[in-house]
Amino acid sequence: MKHGSLFSGIGGFDLAAKLIGWENIFHCEINPFERKILNHHFPDSISYSDITKTDFTKHNGQIDIISGGFPCQDISIANVYNGGG
């Protein structure tokens, strides 16, 4: 299975996908620190930053599963905006 991750945070869905044998094709995360973590753990995945400025058409028909993280700033126990969940 080929997996694409949106609003990826530090890669929880990406890690789960890797553990069950899926191929992580891309991740998309706007927060630079979180994207740095993603790029470290998933160096073979394409890294996108701003979903509103990304053209995903090159992946049309090539991705089996899309996951998306829920922005948790408003419900996080940290209760601060840090650019991710």
What tokens does 41 get?
Answer: 């753990």
**Residue 69 confidence (pLDDT):** 83
**Are 24 and 45 contacting, i.e. CB atoms less than 8 angstroms apart?**
yes
Distance CA 81, CA 29 (A): 15
Q: One digit per residue, pLDDT tens: the chain, 85 residues?
A: 999 999 999 999 999 999 999 999 999 999 999 999 999 999 999 999 999 999 999 999 999 999 998 766 666 565 555 554 4
- Overall size of the chain counted in residues: 85
**Residue 72 confidence (pLDDT):** 64
Distance CA 23, CA 42 (A): 10
pTM: 0.81
How big, in percent rounded to 5, are the helix, strand and coil portions of the chain?
Answer: 30, 20, 50
